[in-house]
Chains A and B, each alone.
Chain A
Amino acid sequence: MKMLLAVFRNEISRLFSLRPVLSVIVVAAGVYAVFYPQPYLNEALRKVPIAIVDQDRTQTSRLLARLIDATPDVSVAEVLPDMPTAQREVYTRRIFGILLIPQHFERDLLHGRASPIALYADASYFLMYQRMNGAVTAVSRTLGTNFEIARLVNLGVDPPVAAAATDPMPFVPVPLFNPQGGYATYILPAAFVLILQQTLLIGVGLLGTMPGGMVAMAGGARLRLSDRIFDSIGTVAGKLLAYLVVHVVIVSVYLIGLPYLYGLPRLGSVATVLAIAVPFSLAVGALGLVVAAIFRKPLAVQLVFAAIGLPFFFLAGFAWPAEAMPIAVRWLAHLLPSTLAIDGLVDVAQLGASLSDVRSEFLGLWLLAAGYAAIAVMIEFSKRHRAPDTALA
């Protein structure tokens, strides 16, 4: 216990006195909090510019163009004479889709024939494609339905019956969470968890590879085996406790303060969020100790972990469904605290899940914390085992 307290005090003071460590755990976390969300702050992609190639040039074709321009998702940036001209505009990225309204569009409609239109939408950017496809589909359906109802009414059908005949079984999609489909609301809660992991992981990796981490208790080199075991456990526990105390403050800012600041919806209780954050911080801290033992040099830790965030993010099964990943990759993903923590924390904060709903993630994080802590204790023990010998030599 004395060991634990001594190590705890030593780690806290190192954390704040070693500049590289402080700048990763605190300063970098602060910078990312402002910097990372910037691309997504507008939440939705609106007014994707498209061109209309109107070969019909009638009142109805112009009505269609106006209705499409009026949707929030798409704007008609240009009206162009032919397809080749429009295609070149797509290549220059001035527009991202072409709506072709063929000749006789209005005539066919008025004659009760099917009057097709064609959308050529740039699928090299999926979100743009989705917006254009959604908006144009909705407009063409609505306009078509209006024509169908009008035709039926002309034939003498009652308007309510005509409406039922055109849409006998309405389809109503209901998004349960993030109903606006906001991009920031989707990506930021998960990305924040990953940033928390990366900064703490690198910070602890640096702490473990910089000098001054060894606390020896009085008693000399002739320690009994059981003492060495207890010292090792005390050391690891003291370090993890130190990281936890500091990290809980940063976690609170990230998971409670930032969502509030950026206006992200939060359904879950603060207490549950913090309850999951505890095993998460412990697991990441313990993993950091293992990382430090593997890479041994501060620069190696920094360099190896610089680019690793992006694969870690996709491993979490958030941006890309775990169902579609190879089974080996899914197993690997579960060795990372971020995978379970993103699931657990997003479920609680964004979906309003209770602690019992995320029991498996919660227990899984404790298991990871215990596993990595056990490895860290073994590493610490072997260090202490070797240390007296080198002191004698």
Chain B
Amino acid sequence: MQRRDRERPGFSLVFWRELAWLRRRPLLLMLTVALPLVLMLLLTAILSAGLATRLPIAVLDLDGSELSRSVIRAVDATPDTAAVLHVAELSEGRHLIVARKIRGLLLLPRNLERDVFAGRRPEVVFFYNTQTFTVGNLVLRGANAAIPTVAAGIRISLRTAEGQPVEEAQAAITPIPLQTHALFNSTLNYVHFLLAALLPAVLQTVVVTTMAYAVGLDVETRHRFAVLRRLGGGLLPAMFGKMLPYTILFLSMLGVADAVLFKVLELPLRGEPVVLVLAGFMFVLACQFIGALLALLLRPVAAAVSIATLLTAPAFGFMGIGFPRLGMNHFAYGYGELLPGTWYLMARIDQTIRGTPIDLSWKPVLVLTGFVIVLVILTALRVLAMRRHIQGDGP
């Protein structure tokens, strides 16, 4: 302690004092290290499978023919769906869907085989549940892939029975074959799509609320605020000395998350790592200064933390990962525009799965930098105003 007393006021004094605080206050350390790690680990565990495969569906086979069995086999063979049980009635199947025991019900009507070959076009019906969006769409994708394949087989056999060669029949049944290429995420992996975006989103809330708290501790009383300024020997050194320890900690947390994503979960890194790191740095700084500014504007600390939570906890929806921003109303689009996370996720998607050319990569990084500059200026102005206020009041 003695050594530090003799140290001249300035950036490093504030920096080291903050680190000592972090050591002495278990809550601060928990918020900056343990909490983000636990939350990110939890999300990683939930989504680690990346793909939801072999979702259970039931079959109501009223035909029991060779054809109906081949339809069931085809549905069972897709990666998305597994035909796990037979039901005797429609109502039983509906009941099981509501209970989430099965995710879909395939109805094969009576005389399916006979009617198909008689040209009566019997319908194969698939019931599923879009209330659970992702799962509903996945089982539909499975059924949608399997049944037309079986139908195509029938169409080919109808034609070859007429004497048409197999290749010609194959070409004839799909006059316009569509080749779909899933750009940037060819396996439609949810780890690379959703988890990679969720981790920074959680961090955004943690950073903003924690900084509102950490800065709030310093400005809660006039006395402490004055101490911080004196220790820093000036406004800017005090500000950056206060912020930097957290920048380092939060960037490390982001680094841990990314290490897991890149090394364990095989998230591709197709762009420029430098741009990704730069964007991450600006993202953390922007979040920090939002928290700091809230702490400077709102008293007591609890109010600053409350508002920080209110602004950032529902933010994930506004960042346009699940439901794209393109489809949002003006308010939601505008609010998303103001969140550092929106731009960071853009930069992140660009540099990881997309591999965006460098000349098209700068916009989100520049916007984040702009955020930081504006926020630093606002914070500085607010601190100056507070100092004038204190000096005006003082003896």
Contacts and interface: CB of A to CB of B under 8 A. Distances in A.
Interface of A: 20, 23-24, 28, 31-32, 35-36, 38-42, 44-46, 48, 64, 88, 90-93, 109, 112-130, 133, 136-137, 140-141, 143-145, 147-148, 151, 160-161, 163-179, 181, 183, 185-187, 198, 297-300, 302-304, 306-311, 314-315, 318-321, 323-326, 328-329, 343, 346-347, 350-351, 353, 357
Contacts of A133: 180
Nearest to A133: B180
B324 A119 contact: no
Given A118-B178, A120-B183, A143-B176, A126 B188 contact: yes
A41 B115 CA distance: 45
Interface in B259-316: 301-303, 305-306, 308-310, 312-314, 316
Contact of A320 (B52, B116, B154): B52
Nearest 6 Cβ contacts at the A-B interface = A164-B119, A123-B182, A307-B205, A144-B176, A45-B327, A324-B52
A116 B188 contact: no
Contacts of A120: 181, 183
Contacts of A35: 310, 314
A311 B136 contact: no
A4 to B, nearest CB: 30
28 contacts: A28-B310, A35-B310, A39-B317, A39-B332, A109-B175, A117-B179, A121-B181, A122-B184, A124-B183, A124-B184, A128-B324, A129-B182, A136-B180, A144-B177, A147-B176, A170-B124, A174-B128, A175-B136, A176-B128, A302-B302, A302-B305, A303-B213, A306-B313, A310-B202, A311-B202, A323-B55, A324-B52, A326-B48
Contacts of A328: 45
Q: Give the interface residue-count category, chain B.
A: 35 or more
Among A88, A143, A310, residue most surrounded by chain B Cβ atoms (within 10 Å): A310
A262 to B, nearest CB: 13
Contact of A130 (B97, B137, B328): B137
Contacts of B180: 118-119, 121, 133, 136-137
B89 interface: no
A300 B310 CA distance: 16
A386 B328 CA distance: 56
A175 B129 contact: yes
B135 A171 contact: no
B313 A321 contact: no
Given A120-B183, A178-B130, A169 B150 contact: yes
B313 A329 contact: no
A169 B124 contact: yes
Contact of B323 (A113, A183, A321): A183
A170 B42 CA distance: 43
A299 B213 contact: yes
Nearest to A315: B46
B225 interface: no
A329 B44 CA distance: 10
A306 B308 contact: yes
Interface stretch (B16-24, B166-174, B228-236): B166-174
Among A186, A303, A311, A319, residue most surrounded by chain B Cβ atoms (within 10 Å): A303
B107 to A, nearest CB: 9
A133 B181 CA distance: 9
B278 to A, nearest CB: 18
Contacts of B35: 303-304, 307
Given A38-B328, A166-B155, 19 more contacts: A28-B310, A38-B329, A40-B323, A112-B175, A117-B179, A118-B179, A124-B183, A124-B353, A125-B321, A136-B180, A144-B176, A169-B147, A169-B151, A176-B97, A299-B302, A306-B312, A307-B209, A319-B133, A351-B129
Contact of A123 (B126, B132, B186): B186
Contacts of A314: 43, 46-47, 198
B179 A174 contact: no
Nearest to A175: B130
A343 B193 contact: no
A155 to B, nearest CB: 10
Contacts of B53: 324
Interface string B310-345: 101110111011111111110110011000000000
